[in-house]
Amino acid sequence: MTEMAAGTAPAHHDPEASLLEVARPRPLLLVGSAVTGLLVVLLFVLWGYQAKEGLGVAGINRPVFWGIYIVNFVFWIGISHAGTLISAILRVVHAEWRRPLTRCAEAVTVFALMVGGLFPLIHMGRPWLFYWLLPYPNYRGLVPNFRSPLVWDVAAITAYLIGSSLYLLLPMIPDLAMLRDRSSDRGGVRYRLYRLLALGWRGTPLQWAALERGIGILAVAVIPVAVSVHTIVSWDFAMTMTPGWNSTIFGPYFVVGAIYSGIAVLLLAMAILRRGLHLEHVLTDKTFDNLGRLCLAMTLIWGYFTFAEHLTTWYAGDAASDSVHHALMSGRFGNLFWLMIFLNVIVPFALLVTRRGRRPLGAAIAAIGIVIGMWLERLLIVVPSLSKPRLPGLDGSYWPSPVELGIMLGSAGLFVFLYFVFVQVFPIVSIWEVREGREHKAVAAGQRATELARAGGGTV
Amino acid sequence: MTRWGMVIDTDRCTGCEACVVACSAENNVPTVGEDDAAMGRAMHWLRIERVVEGEFPDTRVRFVPVLCQHCGAAPCEPVCPVYATYHNDEGLNAMVYSRCVGTRFCANNCPYTVRTFNWRKPAWPEPLDRQLNPDVSVRPAGVMEKCTFCVQRIHDARHEADADERELRDGDVSPACAQSCPTQAIAFGDLADPESRVSRLARSRRAFQLLDDLGTAPGVVYRRGGLDLEETVMGELPLPGAADD
């Protein structure tokens, strides 16, 4: 692959050249960006209103001190496990089918993290003081409380955002160089952006070797970071003595749920991109089939964890945990709980277990179910435990206010907005990696043909 | 070293809520209005829980005033990311309002659910807004608050003792709730001093602590059991009110 000098191959000899055309403005995407852009405005207007009026405009109360802001925080951080973790694991194990989906997944990670990272700030009573959670030098010698899981959160999420941003940008360098070299308008914003981000890439053997090494190191390093992030998010709950939260299984349970919801969003994003950008030749049925199998495995693992978590709580039956458990299974939250099981286990299993169901349409339907189901799971972790305090006097209830729902809608808008803009500026499929895969295959086929010919010649 | 503590005799509590009102007046606790109160946003630092004992028709309601237990091993303290809630060396679980950023993690980890949050800017209807206590800061929107054991009264008593060049005496400090209780169900003092009134009351076989199996080491001791048995059999101390006579 060292012979692949960026931007030198003429278009008509290059099967991947059409992918370069993907990164350009499109009418439908522009409209989509405008609509979601309005949702982003809604998000910040409502947040400003809440900051001015106080958290009274949300539905949270005593004892349900945490509401859907925390639910969305956990949900989006979970989604962010789509990319980096999946693409890193697949890279490390040299899974060839990863090639067309890595970029798409890594972009999901970065944008989901950006959205998820907003929610702790939205959730705070005095968000303008968020920097007090950072260990910055100050004349009073004040430091954050390193015993608090929230401070661990800040560290873990910051590390993950930096790591996954690098992991998105680094493998994009050869593609950016290609875009830079093909840019007709040398004075334009796009050209300058590509030139800046391509970091002077010329495709020399030395540069290729450095890139390979860099990606190799990042892919390995980012896996423990990703695992630690959602483990620490789970510890916001598991470290407390609140019934229903204090669970040893929460770390791995959250990581599994995160990967599960991440794969679902990735499947959904791929299905939409495939259709919208006509990428059927790249994001093939085979890609969906493989990712669908991975998703099916996660369905089973998630179902197993959920079963184990609730069975042990129910069997031990201590009074405080039991009241939460009862509210979940058959009480106030019973309907939502069984809806979650339906969407997270039954629907995806029924679809993904068949080859037909793993095609883009079936996978997309399963993915929508999982996304809603996993949001419900986060809700059913946060709210029921808080609504059942140990002392009987404050039996709580919670319903999100219009401001909370508006901010949630806006956050989804922000994610889609960022994604739409990204797709129009950057190639959503990693061009050089797809090309490398095709060449590997060709070389392998050639070798095989030679070997067969030799073997054939030998026997005759 | 002082360990401030409280003893509450539930046999004496009539559930009149004078303590709740006195606490709110003393500590500038905002009123939140009907709508927010219905949502569970009332900010009282002290609430009266009702526990129904016995089987119908032989039932009886017991009132349990619940306030911050000033736990020796307080679950709210380690989870605060900015040390806004901390333990002082007199056993008080203290709040630094100006340091609080409002994550509400402390409130979630309090097994007694006694912490309250300023959901909105504090407000009082006429004429309550003209009787704010100048010794207590008014908390802004977005911060947590809770019972302080009337720390301002502890400071006042200490200043007076210092001026008189003497040590603090048992009974020098009385929080608003204890002061206003018509049946004198609430006693306050130094649990580290074995001769103090609270120490003597806490040594009763009638004494218990809320959720003490959680290992929180509360600084509030409750008493229950009625006038039968132990009190006379043990030859124990008189009831809180009688101790003053």
In order, the DSSP letters of A211-229 are HHHHHHHHHHHHHHHHHHH
Query: Which residue from B187, B140, B163 is spatially nearest to B12, judged by alpha carbons?
Result: B187
Predicted confidence (pLDDT) at residue A372 exceeds the cutoff of 90: yes
Among B49, B78, B113, the residue with its CB nearest the CB of A148 is B78
Among candidates A73, A221, A80, which has minimal Cα distance to A150? A73
Distance from the Cα of A121 to chain B's closest Cα (Å) equals 9
pTM of the model: 0.91
3-state secondary structure (DSSP) of residue B62: strand
Predicted confidence band at A13 (pLDDT cuts at 50, 70, 90)? Answer: low
Contact indicator for A83, A107 with CB cutoff of 8 Å: yes
Q: How many helices and strands in chain B, by DSSP H and E?
A: 9, 10
- Give me the residues paired with residue A20 across strands: none
Residues of A contacting chain B (CB within 8 angstroms): 53-56, 59-66, 120, 123-127, 129-130, 132-133, 142, 144-145, 147-151, 154, 236, 239-242, 386, 389-394, 396-397
Q: How far is A56 from chain B (nearest CA, A)?
A: 4
Is residue A394 scored above 90 in pLDDT?
A: no
Instruction: Tell me which residue in B40, B80, B119 faces A394 most closely, judged by beta carbons.
Output: B40
CB contact under 8 A, A124 and B211: no
Whether A96 and A122 have beta carbons less than 8 Å apart is answered as no
* Residue A101 clears pLDDT 80, i.e. is over it: yes
With beta carbons under 8 A apart, name residues in chain B contacting A239.
79
Query: Is residue A15 pLDDT above 80, yes or no?
Result: no
Residue of chain B minimizing CA distance to A235: B79
Minimum CA–CA partner of A123 in chain B: B103
Chain B's closest residue to A128, CA to CA, is B101
Longest dimension (CA), chain B: 58
Side chain identity, residue A213: R
Contact between residue A305 and residue A256 where contact means Cβ atoms under 8 Å apart: yes
- B127 and A CB contact within 8 Å: no
B76, closest residue in chain A (CA to CA): A240
Q: Under an 8 A CB cutoff, do B80 and A148 touch?
A: yes
- How many Cβ atoms from other residues are within 10 Å of residue B155's Cβ? 12
Q: Are B156 and B216 in contact (CB under 8 A)?
A: no
A111 membership: H or E segment, kind and range? helix A102-123
Chain A residues near residue B111 by CB distance under 8 angstroms: 241-242, 389-391
Question: Looking at chain B from residue 5 to 44, which residues have their Cβ under 8 Å from any Cβ of chain A?
Answer: 36, 39-42
Whether residue B230 is predicted with pLDDT greater than 80 in this model: the reply is no
The residue in chain B having the minimum alpha-carbon distance to the alpha carbon of residue A127 is B101
**In chain A, which residue's Cα lies nearest the Cα of B115?**
A62
- The predicted model gives A294-308 an average pLDDT of 96
- Which residues, 6 or more positions from B146, have their beta carbon under 8 angstroms from its beta carbon? B45, B68, B93, B95, B114, B115, B116
Is B100 within 8 Å of chain A by CB?
Answer: yes
Q: What is the pLDDT of residue A445?
A: 85
Decide if A55 and B119 are in contact by the 8 Å CB cutoff.
yes
Contact A125 B141 (CB under 8 A): yes
Mean pLDDT of A210-225: 92
- Alpha-carbon distance of A120 to A130, in angstroms, equals 9
Of the ranges A181-185, A330-334, A433-437, which one carries the lowest mean pLDDT score? A181-185
Q: Do residue A125 and residue B75 have CB atoms under 8 angstroms apart? A: no
Residues from chain A that touch B104, judged by Cβ atoms under 8 A, are 65-66, 125
Q: Does B83 touch chain A (CB under 8 A)?
A: yes
* pLDDT computed for residue A93 by the predictor: 87
Q: Which two tokens stand for residue B137?
A: 């800061």
Is the Cβ pair A125, B111 closer than 8 Å?
no
Q: Does B81 touch chain A (CB under 8 A)?
A: yes
Across the A:B interface, residue pairs with CB atoms under 8 Å apart total: 139
Residue A124 and residue A154: Cα distance in Å, rounded? 14
Q: For A413-438, b where at least 16 C-beta lie within 10 A, e where not — what string?
A: bbbbbbbbbbbbbbbbbbbbbbbbbe
Question: Long-range contacts: B54-62, Cβ < 8 Å, 24+?
Answer: B61/B15, B62/B10, B62/B13, B62/B224
Give the span between the Cα atoms of B184 and B176, in whole angstroms: 12
**pLDDT given at position A23:** 74
What's the average model confidence in pLDDT over B118-130? 92
pLDDT score for B57: 86
Residue A44, SS3? Answer: helix
For residue B237, the model assigns a pLDDT of 42
Nearest to A406 by CA among A122, A7, A21, A24: A122
CA distance A352 to A302: 15
- Between the alpha carbon of residue B125 and those of residues A249, B33, B131, B136, B141, the distances in Å are 49, 9, 11, 18, 17
Residue A381: pLDDT band by 50, 70, 90 thresholds?
very high
Q: How confident is the model at residue A457 (pLDDT cuts 50, 70, 90)?
A: low
| Closest C-alpha among A203, A179, A172, A205 to residue A87 | A172
Q: Are A259 and A85 in contact (CB under 8 A)?
A: yes
* Mean pLDDT of the A363-370 span: 95
Smallest Cβ–Cβ distance between A148 and the set B66, B81, B102 belongs to B81
Distance CA B47, CA B20 (A): 7
- Are A329 and A338 in contact, with CB atoms under 8 Å apart? no
Average pLDDT over residues A285-303: 94
Residue type, position A127, single letter: P
